[in-house]
Structure 1
Amino acid sequence: MKALFQKIIILVTCFLLIVPVSAKEIPPDQLVRNTVDEVITILKQDDGIKKGQKDRVLDLIETKILPHFNFTRMTQLAMGKNWSKVEAQQRKELVSEFQTLLVRTYSNALTNYRDEVIEVTPLASQPNTKTTTVKTRVIQGRGREPVPIDYSMEKTSNGWKVYDVTVAGVSLVTNYRSTFNSEIKKAGVEGLITSLTKKNKSLEGQ
C-alpha cells in the first residue's frame, strides 16, 4: 500500500511539475497531457533525479509546481469552516507550511517512478467554464487495476490552477481536512501550525 501511494504521488507530481509558457491558452485536459508527457521524459532521462539527488529534485519541484498550484485555495478548503476563524498571519503560516509539506512529500517520492503509463480523458468543449475536472488513469501493468486520478482545476487570470487531487475516489483536500480538524480540536490553530512545522522538519532530513 505504501509503495502504491508513493507511485500515485509521483504521477500526480508529473502533472504539476512543468508548466508551458503558453499555459494560459491551453485547455486543461491538453495541459495535463502535455505536462505528463514532458515530465515522464525528464524522469526517464535525468541522471541526477534517477540517482536520487534530493537538491535537484526539490529545486525542480519548487521552481515548477508553485506557479501552477493554488495552495491558498487548497489550504482554505482543507481548513473548512476553521478558515474563517484564522488570523491573517496564521493564514500565511498555514499556506506556507502546507505548501512545504506537499513539496517535500513529492520530492521524497519522485525518484520511485517505474514506467507507469498515464491516460488522460479528453474533455468536451467548455469555452465558458471556470472550473472543471480532468480525469486520468494510471496504468500500472502486471495485471493490477488502473488507478483513477482526477484533477480539480479552476481558470484564473494566470491560467488553469489545480486546487484538489482525487486519487481512487479519495480527495487530497478532504483527507487533510480530517487531519487538520483533529489537530485544531487538540491544540488549536497554533497547534496545527506547530504540527506541520515539525512534520516538515522530519521530511527535510529524509
Structure 2
Amino acid sequence: MTRLASLAFSFALALALALATASTAGAQAPADAQRFLEQKHEAVERLMRQDPSPRRDQQVTRMLSGLLDYEELAKRALSNHWDGLEEAQRSEFVSILEQLVERNYRANLQRTLSFEVRYEGAEAQGDAVLVRTEARSRENRRAPPVSIDYLMQREGRGWRVFDVTVDDGLSMVQNYRRQFDRIIEREGWDGLMQRMRDRLEQS
C-alpha cells in the first residue's frame, strides 16, 4: 500500500470506527464526548454485522454523515483562504469535500469489522474535546495497534468530529491544508476546485 493510499485508508478507518458551532467544554464534556463516540461506534458495528444490502449501506452512510463537521473541517483546512471566498464558493467546496470523504470511508467500511476499538480517555482542549482511542486488528494480534485521536465540538445534544489524527502523524486538517495550499499556490482556487471535481467524477 502506497503512503498516500495508506493515509487515505487510515482516515477512512478512523471515521468509520468513530461513529459517531462550538460551545465551551465543561467539566462533564470529555466524558460526554467519549460516551457519544462509543454509542455511535456500537450502533454502526451492529449495522455492519447485518447481511450486506443497499438499505444497510444507506443507513450506515446517513449515520456517518452526521459524524463529521465538514464546514469546520473545510474552514480549518483552507485557513486564510476561507476568508476570501464568497458564500457560493464555500458551499460548493464543502459539498464536494463531503462527497469525497464519504466515498473514501464507504469503500473501507467492511474492513472496519476486523478491528476492535479501545477508548483511552478524553480531555478538554479549549472549546473542544480530544478523545483518544486505539484500534487493534482482530485478525492479526501481532500487528501494532493504531492510535486514533478525535477532536470534537458539541453541537446541540450531540457531538461532531472536526479533526482526526492517526498514529501521532499529520491530522486530517493538517494533511488537507498542506495539499490545498500547494495546489492553490500553483494553480489558484479554480485549479483546486477543478481537481476536486475531476476526482469526484472518477467515482
**TM-score past 0.5 threshold:** yes
Of all paired residues, the percent bearing the same amino acid is 24
Is it true that 1:12 corresponds to 2:15 in the alignment?
yes
Deviations 1:54-106 (A, max 9, x none): x853x234422233321111001110111112121111111001011100111
Residue in structure 1 matched with residue 50 of structure 2 by the alignment: 46
Whole-Å Cα distance in 2 between the matches of residues 42 and 7 of structure 1? Answer: 21
- The letter for the 2-side match of 1:133 is L
How far the C-alpha of 1:183 sits from its partner, in A, is: 1.5
After TM superposition, the score normalised by the length of structure 2 is 0.81
Whole-Å Cα distance in 2 between the matches of residues 32 and 175 of structure 1? Answer: 23
Aligned equivalent of 1:28, options 26, 29, 33: 33
Q: Structure 2: any 5+ residue segments left out of the alignment?
A: 21-28
Q: Would the alpha carbon gap of residues 41 and 165 (structure 1) be closer, same or farther in structure 2, given more than 3 Å must change?
A: same
Task: Determine helix, strand or coil for the equivalent of 1:47.
Answer: coil
Residue in structure 2 matched with residue 164 of structure 1 by the alignment: 163
Residue in structure 2 matched with residue 199 of structure 1 by the alignment: 199
How far the C-alpha of 1:8 sits from its partner, in A, is: 5.7
After TM superposition, the score normalised by the length of structure 1 is 0.80
- The letter for the 2-side match of 1:102 is V
- The letter for the 2-side match of 1:131 is A
Whole-Å Cα distance in 1 between the matches of residues 51 and 171 of structure 2? Answer: 33
- The letter for the 1-side match of 2:167 is A
* Pairing of 1:108-119 with structure 2 (within 5 A): 108-119=107-118
Task: Determine helix, strand or coil for the equivalent of 1:122.
Answer: strand
Q: Would the alpha carbon gap of residues 130 and 28 (structure 1) be closer, same or farther in structure 2, given more than 3 Å must change?
A: same
* Pairing of 1:117-196 with structure 2 (within 5 A): 117-123=116-122, 130-140=127-137, 141-169=140-168, 170-196=170-196
How far the C-alpha of 1:11 sits from its partner, in A, is: 4.5
> Could you say what the CA RMSD is over the residues aligned between the two structures, in angstroms?
2.6
Q: How many residues are treated as equivalent by the alignment?
A: 188
Task: Determine helix, strand or coil for the equivalent of 1:145.
Answer: coil
Decide whether the 8 Å contact of 2:180 with 2:192 is kept in 1: yes
Decide whether the 8 Å contact of 1:151 with 1:162 is kept in 2: yes
Task: Determine helix, strand or coil for the equivalent of 2:141.
Answer: coil
- The letter for the 1-side match of 2:197 is T
